Amino acid sequence: MQPDFNRRLLLTAAAGTAAVAGFNSSPLFAAAHSAGAPLSRDMLYSTSPQATALQGEAADRVAIRALIDAWAHYADRRLAEKQAALFTENGGYSIYNAEPAHSQPVSSRHGRAQIVAALATLNQFVHTTHFNGQSAIAIKGDRAIGESYCLAHQLHEVNGQRTLQLLSIRYYDDFVRVNGQWLFAERQLIIDWSDTRPSAES
Average pLDDT over residues 66-95: 98
Domain count for the chain, please give it. Answer: 1
Q: Are 51 and 43 in contact (CB under 8 A)?
A: yes
Note the pTM of the prediction, 2 decimals: 0.81
Answer yes or no: is 193 within a domain.
Answer: yes
Is residue 30 assigned to a domain? no
Label residue 64 exposed, middle or buried (CB < 10 Å: 0-12, 13-18, 19+). Answer: buried
pLDDT number for residue 11: 41
CATH code of the domain containing 87 = 3.10.450.50
Q: What is the pLDDT of residue 24?
A: 38
In a domain? residue 21:
no
Does any domain span residue 177? Answer: yes
Structure confidence by residue, pLDDT tens digits, 18-58: 333 333 333 344 344 444 567 888 788 999 999 889 999 99
Longest dimension (CA), the chain: 71
Asked whether the beta carbons of 132 and 122 are under 8 A apart, the reply is no
Position 195 pLDDT exceeds 90: yes
At 84, give phi and psi (nearest 5°): -65, -30
Is 168 a member of any domain?
Answer: yes
How long, in residues, is the chain?
Answer: 202
Across the chain, what does the average pLDDT equal? Answer: 86
**Domain presence at residue 173:** yes
Domain holding 185, by residue range, is 79-198
Q: Is the pLDDT of residue 5 over 70?
A: no
Q: How far apart are CA 131 and CA 151, in angstroms?
A: 5
